[in-house]
Structure 1
Amino acid sequence: MADPFSFELVSPERLLLSEPVLSVVVPGAEGEFTVLKNHAPFMSTIRPGIVTVTPVSGASQRYFIRGGFADVSPSGLTILAELAVPAESIDPALILKEIKDAEEDLADAKDDESRSVAAQKLSQLKEAQAALGQ
């Protein structure tokens, strides 16, 4: 069994979780990554998706997050999310609204760079929707 480490999940509204955990799977901008105790320090941006937390109690918890940063340090992992809510409390309408907004951003894009950014966000939101089983 893995050793516990300190984990905090913070959104602009509140601190959602602050406790010792065994592992955290994070949807990083460059792909998913798993953090365990003594992980090498680094920082990553986060794409919309599901953060899966395995607390010391063992029952996995899932949170939908929309963007932010993950900071892995010797003291543990901190995720600063633009939006973070427990996955089981996600209203499918929220994801649909986010997808609609991303589709509008894609349609309104004026250049290749903004089109690429909007298309990537739309793709990530659709992945999150599939991960939530919606």
Structure 2
Amino acid sequence: MANLQFDLVSPERRLASVEASEVQIPGSDGDMTAMADHAPTITTLRPGVLRVTHGGGSDEYVVFGGFAEITADSVSVLAEQALPKSEVTQEIYDRMVEEAKEAYGKAKEVFKNEPGPVDDAAKLLSDMVAIGGHIGLDPKQSNFG
């Protein structure tokens, strides 16, 4: 089976550079799996879990924003923020959810009759809560308040 080069970079550090058989990407318009000979694509990322499968198994990263560029032989992800799943503690996750909740509250305040930005902020908060469930952390969010 053909492989592709996978690179994941955040502003803080390079998180991965491996030869992979597939990369599952949380795209803004829907999740996608990139494999060798994929059609060239650029997609923005939504908060979610990115999974890369390689010869040594698979690794998961929690990503927040950014974009992915897919070519026939590579996937490059430039994330606004990214951490290996194993580094996302309850404390870090709680802080991220709180930031998303604050952004949602601010959007409701600033954009009173403009649903687009408020909907975007609500979607961000929803995605953040979903990440917690996926990686086994407690979102502590019964509603969007």
Partner residue in 1 for 2:15: 16
1:21, 1:75 → 2: CA distance?
Answer: 10
2:89, 2:26 → 1: CA distance?
Answer: 20
CA-CA distance at 1:85 after TM superposition? 1.1
CA deviation profile, 1:54-75 (whole Å, cap 9, x unmatched): 1122x11111111110000133
Contact 1:70 1:79 in 2 (8 A): yes
CA deviation profile, 1:79-130 (whole Å, cap 9, x unmatched): 0001111101111111211111111221222222221111010011111111
Partner residue in 2 for 1:92: 90
The 3-state SS of whatever aligns with 2:128 is helix
Contact 1:71 1:79 in 2 (8 A): yes
The 3-state SS of whatever aligns with 2:125 is helix
The 3-state SS of whatever aligns with 1:38 is coil
Contact 1:4 1:56 in 2 (8 A): no
Structure 2 residue 45 is matched with structure 1 residue 46? yes
1:65, 1:94 → 2: CA distance?
Answer: 13
Structure 2 residue 125 is matched with structure 1 residue 122? yes
2:105, 2:63 → 1: CA distance?
Answer: 24
TM-score (norm 1): 0.93
1:3, 1:74 → 2: CA distance?
Answer: 10
Greater displacement, 39-48 / 90-99 = 90-99
2:106, 2:18 → 1: CA distance?
Answer: 42
Structure 2 residue 33 is matched with structure 1 residue 34? yes
Partner residue in 1 for 2:141: none
TM-score (norm 2): 0.86
The 3-state SS of whatever aligns with 1:3 is coil
Question: Identity over the aligned pairs, expressed in percent?
Answer: 32
> What stretches of structure 2 of length at least 5 have no aligned partner?
138-145
> What stretches of structure 1 of length at least 5 have no aligned partner?
none
Displacement over 3 Å in runs of 4+ = none
Contact 1:10 1:79 in 2 (8 A): yes
Q: RMSD of the TM alignment (CA)?
A: 1.1
CA deviation profile, 1:7-59 (whole Å, cap 9, x unmatched): 101111121111211111010001110011000001000011111111122x1
The 3-state SS of whatever aligns with 2:92 is helix
Give the number of aligned pairs. Answer: 132
1:95, 1:132 → 2: CA distance?
Answer: 10
